[in-house]
Structure 1
Amino acid sequence: MNIGIDKIGFSAPNYVLDLADLAQARNIDPNKFKLGLLQSQMAVSPVTQDIVTLGAQAAQAILSEEDKAEIDMVIVGTESSIDQSKAASVFIHGLLDLNPFARSIEIKEACYGATAGLVLAMSHIAQHPNSKVLVIASDIAKYGIASAGEPTQGAGAIAMLVTADPAIMILQDDNVCQTRDIMDFWRPNDDKYPRVDGKFSTEQYTDCLTTTFDQYKKRTGKELADFAAVCLHIPFSKQGLKGIQALTTEDEETLNRLSERFQEAIVYNKLVGNIYTGSIFLSLLSLLENSQTIEAGDDILFYSYGSGAVCEIFSGRLVPGYKEHLQTDRLEKLKQRTPLSVQDYEKIFFEEIQTDEKGNAIDLPKDDAAFALIDIQDFKRIYRKN
């Protein structure tokens, strides 16, 4: 049985910050962001948008009424959870009015969580071929004003419908994982922002990639030259490029070819920033919608990495007719976002919801987005679907 991605959608907040403006405000050479990180813009999420609203919007864009009736599992991968107990997928399930007899869960392991969700979805479909599973990667990357990670921030969500006989990509059964108990990136419960050992984390990203790929080659017999493209976790675009370079130290022809595809695979990432669990799948979407070279039958290699650390390498094969299930105007839509000054960005992105002693929101801003957080009453988050 062939199992994989039948539909894929994306959502981002309607606000954007140009990193050249941020560089000027921080007295930094703009090329440090544009060339050093390969990042150009950052999606900025208001306080009324979170992983629930972004995830619901990404899913709503791709689901038919038939899909909603047949989905019997909803999985959200995130590291931006809005509740220590209730899964974001339960909120999303309600907002989308999905089949009530469904399982809804949330998975956490830094930026790797949605990949784990994808694997779980495949196992479920293998046992229940007529089922459909909605896998959502939704995150808001936030590090603080003038922090080292500030230019890599971002916000957004990817939604994938996983089915038998998929219309976009068949996922191969060749997954290889690795776990390391390290502290390269972590977020204590009582901290507002994550803590990062930046140099150590980038070193671990690369070492996990190369050692896991060595094991992948041993188990599968596949080589890098067998793949039309590589999609990697993109904390910032330059890190992904360094990853490809680390894999192709001796094969210059393969390096050049995969580097060209990589540039197509980061078109959206450069304009959105880091969306944690979704960044690898945003890269896939960018590749599919911007490459004029890849075609049906091509194999694509994936490297998912979540600090702490868990990583996984796997592959997928493009299905004939996959291009018919993609958007052709996504870049134009990204250009229509509302640009922010640095001052407005600092106000919107870092605003915090104020509540009274009874847990009721005070002066929560209005939001006319498709899905929005409209209130908090007695510590309960209340969402609206327009």
Structure 2
Amino acid sequence: MKLGIVDMEMATAHHSVSLSALAHATNVDPNKYRFGLRQENFSMPALDEDAVTLGATAASRVLARTGKTAIRTLIFATESSVDQSKSAGVFAADLLDLSVNTRIVETKQACYAGTAALQMALGIVARNPQEQVLVIASDIARYAVNTAGEPTQGAGAVAMVVGADPQLLEIEPQTGVWSAHIDDFWRPNDLSTPLVDGARSLDAYLGAFTGAWEDYLAHGGAGLDEIDYFVHHQPFTKMAVKGHRRLVEHTGKLIDEQTVEPGLRYTTQFGNSYTASLYLGLLSLLHSDADLDGKRIGLYSYGSGATGEFFTGVVQPGYRRVIDSHYADAAINEREELSFEEYRALHAAHERGSKHDYQNPRVTRAPFRFVGVRDGARSYQRNTLPTDSGVISTINKS
């Protein structure tokens, strides 16, 4: 029996920020971002968007195709959690009108949590092939201004329906894992932006990659010559390229970088999306012009702190009948670009807690919005077309 991804879809935030504009405003050579990071833009949420609304939007799009009848479990993977106790999945399930007979849980291990959720989902389906699992990976990468991490911000979500006899991607059972306690990136509970040791994070990513690869081979994984394309975790686009080059160096075998390139398009536009990053890369590959019927894809997932996993999936014949690039193309073209001044004002406006009540202006055109906080509780609603898209004027008036 085959197990894997039946269908998948994505979402991103309302606004975009040009890295060229950021570079000019902060007296940085734009080529540092264009070539050093291979980034062009990043997505930024409006005040009425968060990880819940992005995740629910992606899920509503995939469920419109697959239906909800077989969904008995929702696993929400995020490191942008909105509550220390309550799963973001509970909010999302309410917005999606899922059955009350659904188990719901949130997973966390930095950017790796989306893959942990996928592997958990496969185990649930293996136990009862009649059930399907909805996996949501949704995050907002937000860094302090005037830091090295600022140009690597971003936002995005991917929702996957996991089940038996998948129409899209069979996930093969062989997998390689590697974990170690490394302080390369972390965010204590009392901080709204993470702490990062950039050089150490680079080394940890690459070390976990080779460690996971060797474990994958030790557990009967396919050889390099049996893998047709690769998608690696993308905190920024160039990182995936660096990872692939390390694999070439480690194995001593030449692997054409064109086996990586089709999976890189979306990160250049949306920026870092943490748990969703690897799966936005997978969608980028599936939406490309490459003929992928029957092709094996190698997938490397990494989460700081640190955990790495390498596994493979085989694209199913006729996969193009399952998905198309409509939402991704619209997400790139329809975001509202912020000026540098607008971006910095919105960045500061997101610095909010739950000690005081607030109501968010209606900005997002997505199906769901974050209404605000009252008595410490977060409120969400299904959206109607916004009457005021002037988020910055609202910020300045307040």
TM-score (norm 2): 0.92
Q: Does 1:377 align with 2:374?
A: yes
**8 Å contact kept, 2:76–2:105:** yes
Instruction: Answer yes or no: is the 8 Å Cα contact 2:192–2:351 preserved in 1.
Output: no
Inter-partner Cα distance in structure 2 for 1:68 and 1:236: 34
Separation (CA, whole Å) in 2 of partners of 1:90 and 1:328: 28
- Matches of 2:194 and 2:336, distance apart in 1: 27
Match of 2:362 among 347, 362, 366: 366
What's 1:240 paired with?
240
Task: Give the letter for the 2:341 counterpart.
Answer: Q
Equivalent residue for 1:275, pick from 267, 273, 276: 273
2:83 paired with 1:83: yes
Shift, 1:13, TM fit: 0.9
SS of equivalent to 2:63: coil
Deviation of the 1:191 alpha carbon: 1.5
Deviations along 1:164-211, one digit per CA (max 9) or x if unpaired, are 111100000011211101111011111121000100110110011112
Structure 1 residues 35 and 131, CA gap change in structure 2 (3 angstroms): same
1:327 to 312, 324, 327: 324
Aligned pair in 2 of structure 1 residues 195, 70: CA closer, same or farther (>3 Å)? same
**1:195 — aligned with what?**
195
Q: 1:348 aligns with which of 346, 349, 354?
A: 346
Give yes or no for contact 1:353–1:364 (8 Å, CA) kept in 2: no
Aligned to 1:135: 135
Specify the code of the residue in structure 1 equivalent to 2:224.
L
Is 1:104 equivalent to 2:114 in the alignment?
no
Greater shift in the superposed pair: 262-271 or 363-372: 363-372
AA of the residue aligned to 2:263: A
Residues 227-266 of structure 1 mapped to structure 2, 5 A cutoff: 227-249=227-249, 254-256=254-256, 259-266=257-264
Aligned match of 1:147: 147
SS in 2 for 1:205: helix
Task: Give deviations 1:285-304, integer Å, cap 9, x for gaps.
Answer: 001101x3342111101111
Map 1:291-302 onto structure 2 (within 5 A). Answer: 292-302=289-299
Q: What SS is found at the alignment partner of 1:316?
A: strand
- Residue 12 (str. 1) matches residue 12 (str. 2): yes
Q: Distance in 1 between matches of 2:160 and 2:354?
A: 38
1:311 maps onto 2:312 in alignment:
no
Q: SS in structure 1 opposite 2:37? A: coil
1:218 corresponds to 2:218: yes
Q: How far apart, CA to CA, are the structure 2 residues paired with 1:105 and 1:282? A: 22
In the alignment, the residues of structure 1 paired with residue 47 and residue 279 of structure 2 have an alpha-carbon distance, to the nearest angstrom, of 24
Looking at structure 2, the residues matched to 336 and 266 of structure 1 have their Cα atoms a distance apart, in angstroms, of 20
In 2, Cα distance between the equivalents of 1:250 and 1:364?
50
Q: Counterparts of 2:193 and 2:352 in 1: how far apart (Å)?
A: 18
SS of 1:350 mapped into structure 2 = helix
Deviation at 1:137, TM superposition (A): 0.5
Q: By how many angstroms is 1:218 displaced?
A: 2.6
Q: Would the alpha carbon gap of residues 350 and 254 (structure 1) be closer, same or farther in structure 2, given more than 3 Å must change?
A: farther
Q: Distance in 1 between matches of 2:246 and 2:291?
A: 22
2: distance between equivalents of 1:216 and 1:105?
28
- Contact 1:225–1:254, Cα closer than 8 Å, also in 2: no
Which residue is 1:123 aligned to? 123
Q: 1:221, CA displacement in angstroms? A: 5.1
Distance 1:348-1:171 versus aligned 2 partners, 3 A rule: same
* Distance of 1:356 and 1:372 partners within structure 2: 17
Contact 1:46–1:351 under 8 Å retained in 2:
no
Partner SS state of residue 57, structure 2: helix
Deviation at 1:356, TM superposition (A): 8.7
Q: Is the 8 A contact 1:261 1:287 kept in 2?
A: no
**How far, CA to CA, are the matches of 2:162 and 2:309 in structure 1?**
18
Cα separation, partners in 2 of 1:66 and 1:178, compared to 1, 3 Å: closer
Q: Contact 2:295/2:314 (CA < 8 Å) preserved in 1?
A: yes
1:250 Cα deviation from its structure 2 partner: 8.0
Question: What does the per-residue CA deviation read over 1:319-356, in whole Å, with 9 as the maximum and x for residues that have no partner?
Answer: 01111112233325411211111111112233136679
Q: Distance in 1 between matches of 2:179 and 2:58?
A: 30
User: Displacement, 1:375?
Assistant: 2.5
Per mean C-alpha deviation after superposition, the further-off stretch among 11-20 and 329-338 is 329-338
Q: Distance in 1 between matches of 2:36 and 2:91?
A: 39
* CA deviation after TM superposition for structure 1 residue 66, in Å: 6.5
Contact 2:177 2:211 in 1 (8 A): no
Give, in whole Å, the separation in 2 of the partners of 1:229 and 1:252.
18
> What is the CA–CA distance in structure 1 between the aligned matches of 2:251 and 2:351, rounded to whole Å?
52
SS at match of 1:64: helix
CA contact (8 A) 2:6 2:166 kept: yes
Identify unmatched segments of 5+ residues in structure 1: none
Number of matched pairs? 381
Q: Which residue in 1 is equivalent to 2:394?
A: none
Distance 2:348 2:116 in 1: 30
Percent same amino acid at aligned positions? Answer: 37
Question: 1:354, 1:297 → 2: CA distance?
Answer: 48
Contact 2:46 2:364 in 1 (8 A): no
- Compute the RMSD of aligned alpha carbons: 1.8
User: In structure 1, how many angstroms separate the alpha carbons of the residues matched to 2:17 and 2:25?
Assistant: 12
**Offset of 1:266 from its aligned partner?**
0.8
Q: How much does 1:238 deviate?
A: 0.7
